[in-house]
Amino acid sequence: MDIIKLIGVGLISLVIIIIVKQYKPEFAIYVSLTAGILILGMTFDTITQIVNLIENYSQKVSISNKFIIVLLKITGIAILSEFATSICKDAGESAIASKIEIGSKIMIISASIPIISSLLEVVLKVLP
Q: What is the DSSP string of 13-77?
A: HHHHHHHHHHH-GGGHHHHHHHHHHHHHHHTHHHHHHHHHHHHHHHHHHT--HHHHHHHHHHHHH
Residue type, 124: L
* pTM of the complete model: 0.77
Residue type, 97: A
Q: CA–CA separation, 20 vs 121, rounded Å?
A: 57
- Tens-place pLDDT, residues 78-97: 999 998 999 888 888 899 99
- Tens-place pLDDT, residues 53-71: 888 888 887 777 888 889 8
